[in-house]
Amino acid sequence: MLWALPDMGFHDLSMMALICRYIISSAYPLPVIADAETGFGTEVTLPRTVELYDQIGVALAHLEDQESSKTRRCGNLAGKQCIEPEEMVAKIRSWLIVSKSIGTSMRLMVRTDALTAANGGIEQAIERGKRYMDVDYQGFRPTVLWADAMYDPKIIDQWVTELHKHDPNMILGINYSPNKDWTGYYRKNFNQYPPTYEVLYNHGHGFRLIWHTILQARADTEATWNTFKDMAENGAESLWTLHERQRKHPVGDTQAMSNAIPWQDYEQLIGGDEAVKRYQSSEGYGADKVKE
């Protein structure tokens, strides 16, 4: 989104690290999941990724089994190809060795793209998932498993059944991706609504981790498009409409969202009478909230 480029391998470890630093500092104390792509290297160079993500404070990193030399990409794009399972097992083991060595609290989520890859399918995805989650290094194992581009109910049921038959305690995750037209697909093929969180969770017997990739990006771009389309058609009136629409909305006070008031309060606290007088003698946001 920052580079206005597709998710097809244009970004590198340094860009991911930069993004993670901003997100994690803003999200604290919430835990952050970070994409580690294919590890940004081989099983030999991958330790640098583990160490850097640990230093930044990533809570859960996910590692995928795409063939990076074939242009790794979003799991919802065509043209994917997976590395051999043995190569992915070696990467996972390398990740776990470094995790054990540095004593990190960060955990690993492994992902297979075999479900929709050129050299894959559901059976491939299931077998890879079993092998990946079975990797163990001195008690360190992957924590979560997921297969990207999954939304067919029969595939979902088969995936959950087979993986939990292999290990009933395995934590499965699913990307409830807005890249997929869930409502249209389910309405056309099954004459029903897509699964709810409760259905996917299934009392702990289904997916215990559910997320929506690029959900915020889609919402943001839709709102931006609509706003500027309105401005192109109606000029300054579009701004008036925006203000009226947001007048009682939680995001309507943008200065409050930036935490201006607490910082203005603090400025008056440490600045004393001089700072208070400056507020009393000026106009602008916060002028009517002078500290006594």
Q: Against a cut of 0.95, is the pTM above it?
A: no
What mean pLDDT is reported for the chain? 94
Confidence of residue 291 (pLDDT cuts 50, 70, 90): low
**Three-class SS of residue 248?**
coil
**Three-class SS of residue 142?**
coil
- Write down the pLDDT at residue 292: 55
Q: Which class would CATH give 13-213?
A: alpha beta
- Write down the pLDDT at residue 212: 95
Q: How does pLDDT run across 98-154, given as a tens digit for each residue?
A: 999 999 999 999 999 999 999 999 999 999 999 999 999 999 999 999 999 999 999
Using CA atoms, how far apart are residues 65 and 67, in angstroms rounded to an integer? Answer: 7
Which long-range contacts does 18-23 make (Cβ < 8 Å, 24+ apart)?
A: 20/53, 20/56, 20/57, 20/58, 21/56
According to DSSP, the residues that pair with 140 across neighbouring strands are: 137
Q: How does pLDDT run across 229-247, given as a tens digit for each residue?
A: 999 999 999 999 999 999 9
According to DSSP, the residues that pair with 146 across neighbouring strands are: 111
Q: How does pLDDT run across 1-37, given as a tens digit for each residue?
A: 778 888 898 889 999 999 999 999 999 999 999 999 9
Per-residue 3-state assignment (H helix, E strand, C coil) for 148-176: CCCCCHHHHHHHHHHHHHHCCCCEEEEEC
Domain boundaries, the chain: 13-213, 218-280
Q: Which residues contact 22 (CB under 8 A, 6 or more apart)?
A: none
Which residue in this structure is represented by tokens 């897509």? Answer: 194
Q: What value does the mean pLDDT take over residues 55-61?
A: 97
Q: 85, 78 in Cβ contact below 8 A?
A: no
